[in-house]
Structure 1
Amino acid sequence: MRADRLISILMMLQMEGRMTAAELARRLEVSERTIYRDMDALSISGVPVYADPGVGGGFVLPANYKMTIGGLTTAEIQAVFMHLAGGSFEQLGIGPPLRSALLKLLHALPDQSRRDAEWIQQRIYLDPESWSQDEKTAPYLQAAQQAIWEQHAVTMTYTSREGHELCLKLKPYGLVAKAGVWFLVGETEGNVRAFRLLRIDSLEGKQEERFVRPEDFDLQVFWQEWLEKYESR
């Protein structure tokens, strides 16, 4: 487990650029003391990680440091290729670049790992589409995605579960795909809610109305809490 955690630390530092012990501890669900011990272990093993003290500081890797992906296990390769096989990415319009990225990843793997990935692809296929034709299209998905990327408000009309038509102004925070069914998560009238995209009757972007998404908002945490309330109704 520790070796996996050390690799995770390196990957997060490469992606984020700079992270504090508290941030790493929270993401990896360990204590800050454990993170400091891990940093000592990385330094002893020759990894050039260093601490940048002061306000806004944290642990940093040199800009030219790159970690190879040769250490991926068969189970990790399986998880990556299975997780990225879903059609939800196609609906977002990123199917072609995703396939290109997977191809590059496949060619970057060592020979044995590449054979493992190809073996998995020939034996497991995930079809995320519902049997119901109604679940296949979410007409405002890409418009919602654009509003999220650009952080501008939207106005929309929405039909509730009870059949009531609502006119709402929303600050969109994120999108969630639940078994191929898309939900738009955002703030309206001071409350963060989730809206099923197929119940949205119209959606219009308000590019002049920009907003800043709260830094402490965690989409995954919100979704799990919302789902518990939804399923308990």
Structure 2
Amino acid sequence: MKLERLISMIYMLLNNEVLSASVLAEKYGVSQRTIYRDIDAICAAGIPVVSYQGVHGGYGIMEEYKMDRSLLGSYDVGSLVTLLHSMSTVFEDDKAMETMQRLQTIQPDHAPTTLTMDMGSRQTHQDQLKRLRDAIHDRNVLQFQYMNTKNERTKRAVEGIRLMFKHGTWYLYGYCRERKDYREFRLSRIAELNVTTTLFGPHAITEANPRQASARPLADASEKVQVVVRFTDLLARAMDYFGHLDTIAYDEEGALRITLNIPRSLEAEWLYSILLSFGNKAEIMEPVEVRSRMKSHIEAMLGTYS
């Protein structure tokens, strides 16, 4: 505990010009006499702590000893600090906070923040993320119930390799013992998570080909169907979903038309579920087969409530 306090105190002194003994004592919940002993220990380790007298006096570290700020540009430091801050918020990671404090010692004074990042999620996901990250680090086999896109609930045993954040969603990437292959699992579809005491060995995964030779071939990207959807309201929400994908245009009535290129292999089921949430504010204009399929979905819903 004392060593951790000393290391933290060094970074505190590096990040501030002068800190009084009373401020440090309050920060670490110890007496001022303990702070004096800690300062002596830091000096004995070869770090030049300077004592300043007076009303605004305290302790600081010689400027010549601080890290050269030219080692990294302000853009590099700012981006790294932003990323580490987001990680420490999601995982409550003390090590990330310590690294962030080190980087802040070389961040230019009064540097404007040009980048922010929010990787946060619901509280339940945060608890999951912490448990999954610890299990990945300790190489504990994970067991959970998983719901796939075919509405099939299966029990999985997975050797976790990494957590991934993409498209605004968290995923677990690992080796599935049931499928004997590498898989991605969306956190929102994981239930009854259990971190077992069974351990597994390291995986030789490369970034260039993470799923290795056992990966399944991708669907032919050339097999696509062009779908035109017209939105008469909730235009901002429509652009949130689709505006970055394909072509958008406005007709004479001010309605939004979005042209989507959808792989046929996906059968566009995800598209119907999204468009149904728009009610009568969205209409599939073409092609006829996709429009007819949407009509079938609506009729099925009416049958449920009849």
TM-score normalized with structure 2 length:
0.42
Q: Deviations over 1:104-159 (max 9, x none)?
A: 3212x1xxx422xx4233x54333447xxx69735422221121111121111111
SS in 2 for 1:144: helix
- 1:145 correspondence with 2:133: yes
SS in 2 for 1:137: helix
Q: Which whole-Å CA distance do the structure 2 matches of 1:142 and 1:135 have between them? A: 11
SS in 2 for 1:140: helix
Partner in structure 2 of residue 9 of structure 1: none
Q: What are the within-5 Å matches in structure 2 for residues 74-153 of structure 1?
A: 74-86=74-86, 88-94=87-93, 96-107=94-105, 109=106, 113-115=107-109, 118-121=110-113, 123-129=114-120, 137-153=125-141
SS in 1 for 2:102: helix
Alpha-carbon RMSD across the aligned residues, in angstroms, is: 3.4
Q: Which whole-Å CA distance do the structure 2 matches of 1:72 and 1:103 have between them? A: 15
Q: Deviations over 1:48-106 (max 9, x none)?
A: xxxxxxxxxxxxxxxxxxx96642123322332333343x4422231x44333222321
Cα contact 2:77–2:104 (8 A) shared by 1: no
Give 2:89's aligned amino acid.
E
Partner in structure 1 of residue 171 of structure 2: 183
Q: Which whole-Å CA distance do the structure 1 matches of 2:167 and 2:182 have between them? A: 22
Partner in structure 1 of residue 280 of structure 2: none
Kindly indicate whether structure 1 or structure 2 has the higher relative contact order, using CA contacts under 8 Å at least 6 residues apart: 1
Q: Which whole-Å CA distance do the structure 1 matches of 2:88 and 2:209 have between them? A: 21
- 1:166 correspondence with 2:157: no
Q: Which whole-Å CA distance do the structure 2 matches of 1:136 and 1:178 have between them? A: 18
Q: What are the within-5 Å matches in structure 2 for residues 1-233 of structure 1?
A: 70-86=70-86, 88-94=87-93, 96-107=94-105, 109=106, 113-115=107-109, 118-121=110-113, 123-129=114-120, 137-188=125-176, 189-207=179-197, 209-215=198-204, 217-218=205-206, 221-222=209-210, 233=266
Cα contact 1:135–1:181 (8 A) shared by 2: no
Partner in structure 1 of residue 279 of structure 2: none
Cα contact 2:142–2:159 (8 A) shared by 1: yes
Gap change, CA 1:135 and 1:221, over 3 Å in 2? farther
SS in 2 for 1:142: helix
Structure 2 stretches lacking a partner, 5+ long: 1-66, 220-261, 267-306
Q: Which whole-Å CA distance do the structure 2 matches of 1:89 and 1:218 have between them? A: 26
Who wins on radius of gyration, i.e. which is larger?
Answer: 2
Gap change, CA 1:161 and 1:222, over 3 Å in 2? same
Cα contact 1:135–1:180 (8 A) shared by 2: no
SS in 2 for 1:182: strand
Structure 1 stretches lacking a partner, 5+ long: 1-66
Q: Deviations over 1:189-222 (max 9, x none)?
A: 3200000111111111221x2211223x035753
State the number of aligned residues.
Answer: 151
Q: Which whole-Å CA distance do the structure 1 matches of 2:112 and 2:185 have between them? A: 35
Cα contact 1:171–1:186 (8 A) shared by 2: yes
Q: Which whole-Å CA distance do the structure 1 matches of 2:125 and 2:73 have between them? A: 36
Cα contact 1:156–1:167 (8 A) shared by 2: yes
